[in-house]
């Protein structure tokens, strides 16, 4: 090669990187012939690709011929630079792959109240798996009424929420998690607490002061409340529990949530064979959301919990 490249190398493409990897192998093998088995290609193909690299760099990298293989001074410098470049590329690949194994960032979750007592514990198990994958992930949980959870996911304040699924809102996706059963309860001190279910007439039950939810429930659930004499209301299940535990109201609670009070003898379910309703709890995310590795990892953990 008679002259240097007149202009600087404009860019290093995948093609140049492939040629530089071949150059590194030739140098480390000590020549074209010795590199044939390492590269899996013939000597003529190696020679042609070396010529392509020299032409692209505008530099003569080695002497080859009867006297044997030897690097030029420029070839030695390019070889050192090649080692640095390929090491940097490998480091980049390793670090990016590491992001998949060691997640970083935040996960903002909105939850309907009193899900922690559900025995399946899918949310808890998924959060535990997420922390194993990403010890540095920061998790923020907000307990709010279902409508606020859905709005938070829509406007981007929350990455994901868990709510009773009433009707799908436009712009949101729902992933079923649990089927939750709610029973009608009264507390110790209430006139019905010691009345046997077989002696408890529906008319008497329906005239007791009861609690209505102010959060959305499906139409088939609304009929259960419409049959009662609702003189009080609550924005969440904890508020309903407060009122039921006064011994002055009856009301529906999730059976997993009420279980501890039932075991303590403070609550009892009224006619549980007929006075109950089931509702699905779902994970809710925004449609068309940006890629978010922490969120996707959490969703995968939820699906497999």
pLDDT, tens digit, 9 for 90 and up, residues 229-245? 999 999 888 999 999 99
Domain ranges of the chain: 14-101, 106-178+281-304, 179-278
Distance CA 200, CA 284 (A): 40
7 Cβ contact list (under 8 Å, min separation 6): none
Distance CA 238, CA 113 (A): 7
Give residue-wise pLDDT tens across range 172-191.
999 888 888 999 999 999 99
130 alpha carbon, distance to own chain's centre: 8
146 Cβ contact list (under 8 Å, min separation 6): 112, 163, 164, 166, 215, 216
**Per CATH, the architecture of 106-178+281-304 is what?**
3-Layer(aba) Sandwich (3.40)
Distance CA 165, CA 281 (A): 6
How buried is residue 131: exposed, middle or buried, by Cβ count under 10 Å (0-12/13-18/19+)?
middle
Q: Which of 150-154, 158-162, 271-275, 301-305 has the lowest mean pLDDT?
A: 301-305
When pLDDT is cut at 50, 70 and 90, the band that residue 1 belongs to is very low
Q: How far apart are the first and last CA of the chain?
A: 65
Domain 14-101's class? mainly alpha
Distance CA 216, CA 211 (A): 14
pTM of the full structure: 0.63
- Residue reference for tokens 């049959």: 227
When pLDDT is cut at 50, 70 and 90, the band that residue 9 belongs to is low
Give residue-wise pLDDT tens across range 98-108.
666 667 788 99
> Fold match between 106-178+281-304 and 179-278?
yes
Assess whether pLDDT exceeds 60 at residue 5. no
Q: What share of the chain is helix, strand, coil (3-state, %, to 5)?
A: 45, 20, 35
Give residue-wise pLDDT tens across range 191-233.
999 999 999 999 999 999 999 998 888 888 999 999 999 999 9
Give Cα separations from 102 to 109, 245, 291 (angstroms). 20, 46, 17
State the average pLDDT over residues 158-163. Answer: 90
The pLDDT value given to residue 105: 85
Give the residue among 78, 91, 92, 90 at the shortest CA–CA distance from 24: 78
Residue 193 · residue 145 · CB < 8 Å? no
Of all helices (H) and strands (E), which one includes residue 231?
A: strand 229-234
Neighbours of 73 (CB within 10 A): 9
261, two tokens: 């009070």
Calculate helix-pair angle for 32-39, 43-57, nearest 10 degrees. 100
96, two tokens: 């990016």
Domain 179-278's class? alpha beta
130 Cβ contact list (under 8 Å, min separation 6): 103, 107, 137, 139, 294, 297, 298, 301
When pLDDT is cut at 50, 70 and 90, the band that residue 3 belongs to is very low
Q: Any alpha helices (H) in the chain, and if so which ranges? A: 14-29, 32-39, 43-57, 73-101, 122-133, 146-154, 202-206, 219-226, 237-244, 255-263, 293-304
């Amino acid at each position: 090669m008679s002259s240097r490249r007149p202009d600087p190398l404009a860019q290093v493409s995948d093609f140049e990187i492939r040629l530089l990897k071949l150059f590194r192998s030739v140098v480390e093998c000590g020549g074209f012939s010795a590199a044939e088995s390492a590269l899996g290609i013939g000597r003529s193909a190696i020679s042609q690709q070396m010529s392509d690299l020299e032409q692209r760099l505008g530099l003569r990298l080695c002497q080859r011929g009867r006297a044997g293989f030897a690097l030029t001074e420029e070839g030695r410098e390019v070889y050192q630079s090649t080692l640095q470049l390929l090491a940097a590329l490998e480091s980049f690949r390793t670090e990016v792959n590491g992001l998949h194994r060691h997640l970083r960032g935040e996960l903002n979750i909105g939850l309907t109240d009193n899900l922690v007592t559900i025995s399946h514990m899918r949310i808890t198990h998924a959060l535990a798996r997420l922390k194993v994958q990403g010890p540095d992930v920061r998790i923020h949980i907000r307990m709010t009424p279902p409508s606020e959870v859905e709005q938070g996911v829509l406007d981007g304040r929350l990455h994901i929420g868990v709510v009773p699924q009433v009707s799908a809102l436009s712009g949101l996706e729902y992933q079923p998690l649990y089927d939750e059963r709610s029973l009608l309860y009264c507390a110790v001190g209430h006139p019905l607490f010691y009345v046997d279910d077989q002696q408890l007439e529906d008319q008497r039950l329906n005239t007791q002061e009861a609690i209505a939810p102010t959060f959305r429930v499906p139409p088939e659930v609304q009929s259960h409340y419409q049959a009662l004499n609702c003189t009080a209301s609550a924005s969440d299940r904890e508020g309903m529990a407060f009122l039921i535990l006064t011994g002055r109201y009856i009301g529906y609670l999730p059976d997993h949530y009420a279980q501890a009070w039932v075991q303590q003898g403070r609550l009892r379910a009224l006619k549980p064979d007929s006075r109950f309703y089931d509702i699905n709890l779902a994970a809710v995310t925004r449609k068309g959301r940006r890629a978010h590795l922490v969120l996707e990892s959490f969703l995968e953990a939820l699906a497999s919990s």
